[in-house]
Amino acid sequence: MEPIPSDKPTLVVIDGVYQQEEQAGSRGDNEVKLHRWLVSFASGCEWYPVGEFAAMDAASAIDRAIEIFGCAADHRAEEIPWDAAPLPRPKPLSQRWHR
């Protein structure tokens, strides 16, 4: 392979790029729509929110939470609108007392 002189501009053509772009743009019938879910776990008679998850459905969000946090007595997921503000997160103990 010969080195390309740096003083001459070169054009690199990649075959199939336009075809790939057209295929990517025409996948409208296979669109994936994600939703935001607040997943809560039950312990006794109390429910505790464990976090927000983006998933296609409530079952997928719950499955992801179980993968991360483990099993619970019961679980539920409530949909959160995308335009809602993020849920407040508790401050770490180190930041609570030092102001």
- Arithmetic mean of pLDDT over the chain: 75
Taking the domains of the chain in order of start, what are their residue ranges? 32-83
pLDDT of residue 23 exceeding 90? no
Number of residues that make up the chain: 99
pTM over 0.85: no
> What integer pLDDT is reported at residue 68 of this predicted model?
92
Q: Which residues contact 69 (CB under 8 A, 6 or more apart)?
A: 41, 50
pLDDT of residue 31: 78
Name the H helices within 1-99: 17-25, 58-69, 93-96
First to last CA, the chain: 64
Alpha-carbon distances, residue 56 vs 35, 61, 97 (angstroms): 6, 8, 40
Write the pLDDT tens digit of every residue in 38-96: 999 998 889 999 999 999 999 999 999 999 999 889 999 999 988 777 666 666 666 65
